[in-house]
Amino acid sequence: MKLSTKRRKSLPKSQFGLSKEKGTAGRGSYPVPDKAHARNAKARASQQYNKGNLTKAEKDKIDRKADRKLGKGKAEEKGEGRKDTKKEERKEMRKK
């Protein structure tokens, strides 16, 4: 879904990967109001990090906020939590 200017301006600061710097215009950068925008924010942050326009800390902050929106929590990072695909579930069933 396209994020209109009006909708973007109405988003709280918590919905941005990076909040605005003091003295700059706008709400922030890398909006993550939904899963599609979260995936896009991660991709754009990686591009900007690779070009040298973002620090590692800024990229990590964007990734953390996007991951929360995508439902990727600490349990999944450790390999715990629910199975994501039917293929993995079938593999488990075959082992039994």
Tell me if 5 is assigned to some domain. no
Tell me if 90 is assigned to some domain. yes
Q: How many Cα atoms are found within 13 Å in the side-chain-facing hemisphere of 73?
A: 5
Tens digits of residue pLDDT in 67-83: 999 998 654 544 444 44
Tell me if 46 is assigned to some domain. yes
The encoded tokens of residue 81 equal 């939590």
Tell me if 34 is assigned to some domain. yes
What is the identity of the amino acid at 48?
Q
What is the extent of the structural domain holding 31?
12-95
**Closest to 48 measured CA to CA, from 38, 61, 39, 58:** 58
Number of domain units in the chain: 1
Model-level pTM greater than 0.75? no
Tell me, what's the pLDDT at 13?
A: 83
